[in-house]
Amino acid sequence: MECSAHNKKCSGIKSWLFTTDHKKIAVMYLTVSLVVFVLALALAAVMKIEHWSGGKDIIDAKTYNVFFTIHGAGMILWWIIPVFTGFFANLLVPLMIGSRDVAFPRLNALSFWFFVAATVMAVLALVTPGRLDIGWTGYPPYSLQSGSNLSLYVFAVHMLGASSLASAVNFITTIITMRAPGMTWGRLNLTIWGIFGANIIQLFGIPVLAGAVTLLLFDKYLGTNFYNAAMGGSSMLYQHLFWFYAHPAVYVVALPAFGVISEIVSTFSRKKIYGYTSMAIAIMVITFLGFDVWIHHLFTKGVEDWARIVQSLLTIMIGVPTGIKVFNWLATMHQGKIEFRSPMLYAVGFITMFVIGGVTGVGNGLISIDLHVHDTWWLVAHFHFVLSLAMTTVAFAGIYYWFPKFTGRLYNERLANISFWFILIGAIFAFGPLFEVGLKGMPRRYWAYPHEFTGPFRVSVVGGYILIIGFLLTLINIIRSAFKGERTTANPWNAKSLEWTIPSPPPHYNFEEIPVITEGPYEFGKK
């Protein structure tokens, strides 16, 4: 089926359902991700009310367990990973490397539909009998014994896995083979480097995760003994396989996010990004080093000392390339003509949260500290800062930054800025107090808590609601502006990279003529 520019088939529902256009697929990814994001936020809102007092407020323990399971899985596997590997990758890769689409447009559409299939299962997991209460991690033996419908969990992961694998193959092939003439590796946007690294991680990590959960399925329904210690298996095997993927998964998010921040910082400082080469190298170093640190999740679980010490050191070492990035951003801003448009504000907010989360993360990497804070509210606070909130902030920054490009309209600047301050202040109050609660030894994943923690928990509840309002303001902004925003031009930010040279929104073939590239994406100062 085909449709030409003035054909009726090009608009209307069919043009979305059956599309193979990377830009439309990107928007569909964003839509599904945002729907799950809102759902997961709603679950968090209920959990927060439950924490108003130490005892029962509105839900029971079982429901609390189901809620944090779906909240965690939804936020990680449907929101924060796909918004980068689905939305940003689809929108930006062809536009930034100068091609008309990805290598395999139909396969790309299939990735999206697998993602939708997985979403259907996630929703079923919340509402059908045998609700999942196994945590987003699904550790055996509990997951095998809890009476929840494990098959939903496993198949949802399979579908997500198939989707991500197909995308990984697609985008790696695209970046290797479809760059425009003159688009050398040294002229790629850092976002493309980040997406490249992220997809390499997906490529090697996802099959291991898919394997781990498949064995879970076999143990539960076919009588195998992988995780059954009584028959010579080992439940620790699951944790190793799971974290072999799930730790690098944070870089699947972080590497593209680093790229997005680099674009924004460079554009709004009107300066070339400082240390381009070191940034690209840092991205690739993290891609591979990320696979050698998973044991920091297992420090308390009886792993041999030599493995713990080696991986503790490596964990700390990852802080080095990460630190380099923070310094490079600061150096880029230094003496730049900084313009605090919303994306830039979000970028700076990200750096703040990331530093809080990163510093506490170095603490977690040290075995002696981790033994104390493992599985406490400290950890919940740490990863909400470094992953959940910091990366969500980047996602918002990027959505605002490219909003004119993919919709052809401007977002509402004032609303965006108000939303930002709600998010930053909300984050600090929502999760700051939980560091203290965790340090004092209160374990995570509990619906109730002892009286002495009432103070910090209540602060956290109020902060949580401020945060949720902040998120919702951005959502309102996105939806309203997509339909009613002011029309804009091809390059409202006066940015230098390739995607801004074509109209907003781009025609479906992107480039009238495939461009010939002669310089890098951050050449400010030169006219």
Name residues contacting another protein, limited to 480-509 (CB under 8 A): 508-509
CB of 252 to Cu ion, least distance (A): 12
Rounded Cα–Cα distance for residues 196 and 75 (Å): 22
Q: Are 471 and 41 in contact (CB under 8 A)?
A: yes
Tell me the one-letter amino acid at 4.
Answer: S
CB neighbours (10 Å) of residue 337?
A: 9
Rounded Cα–Cα distance for residues 93 and 86 (Å): 11
Q: Which of residues 132-161 bind another protein (CB under 8 A)?
A: 149-152, 155, 158-159
Answer yes or no whether residue 467 interacts with another protein by CB under 8 A: no
CB of 141 to Cu ion, least distance (A): 23
Q: Considering only 75-83, 297-305, 314-322, 513-521, which stretch makes contact with ligand HEM by CB under 6 A? A: 75-83
CB of 447 to another protein, least distance (A): 26
Q: Which of residues 77-116 bind another protein (CB under 8 A)?
A: 99-100, 103-107, 109-110, 112-114, 116
Among 135, 240, 317, 421, binds another protein (CB under 8 A): 240
Q: Which of residues 450-479 bind ligand HEM (CB under 6 A)?
A: 464, 467-468
Q: Shortest CA distance to 460 belongs to which of 474, 444, 475, 476?
A: 444
Q: Are 242 and 153 in contact (CB under 8 A)?
A: no
Q: For ligand HEM, which is the closer residue by CB, 75 or 195?
A: 75
Rounded Cα–Cα distance for residues 183 and 185 (Å): 7
Answer yes or no whether residue 54 interacts with ligand HEM by CB under 6 A: no
Residue 482 binds what, of Cu ion, ligand HEM, another protein, none (CB under 5 to 8 Å, by partner type)?
Answer: none
Among 58, 176, 307, 476, binds another protein (CB under 8 A): 176
Rounded Cα–Cα distance for residues 19 and 83 (Å): 19
Rounded Cα–Cα distance for residues 39 and 123 (Å): 9
Q: Angle 6-10-14 (CA atoms, 0-180°, nearest 5)?
A: 160
Q: Are 397 and 361 in contact (CB under 8 A)?
A: no
Q: Are 94 and 188 in contact (CB under 8 A)?
A: no
Q: Are 196 and 259 in contact (CB under 8 A)?
A: no
Q: Are 384 and 446 in contact (CB under 8 A)?
A: no
CB of 446 to ligand HEM, least distance (A): 6
Rounded Cα–Cα distance for residues 493 and 509 (Å): 23
Among 53, 63, 225, 491, binds another protein (CB under 8 A): 225
Answer yes or no whether residue 349 interacts with ligand HEM by CB under 6 A: no
Q: Binding residues for Cu ion, per CB under 5 A?
A: 247
Site string for ligand HEM, 4-43 (x = CB under 6 A): -------------------------------------x--
Reduced to 3 states (helix: H, G, I; strand: E, B; else coil), residue 487 is: strand
Answer yes or no whether residue 305 interacts with another protein by CB under 8 A: no
Among 30, 39, 47, 206, binds ligand HEM (CB under 6 A): 47
Rounded Cα–Cα distance for residues 508 and 406 (Å): 11
CB of 137 to ligand HEM, least distance (A): 6
Site string for ligand HEM, 133-152 (x = CB under 6 A): --xxx---------------
Answer yes or no whether residue 165 interacts with another protein by CB under 8 A: yes
Mark out the alpha helices in 334-389 (DSSP H runs): 342-365, 367-373, 377-383
Q: Which residues bind ligand HEM (CB under 6 A)?
A: 41, 44, 47-48, 68-69, 71-72, 75-76, 79-80, 135-137, 380, 384, 388, 392, 430, 444-445, 464, 467-468
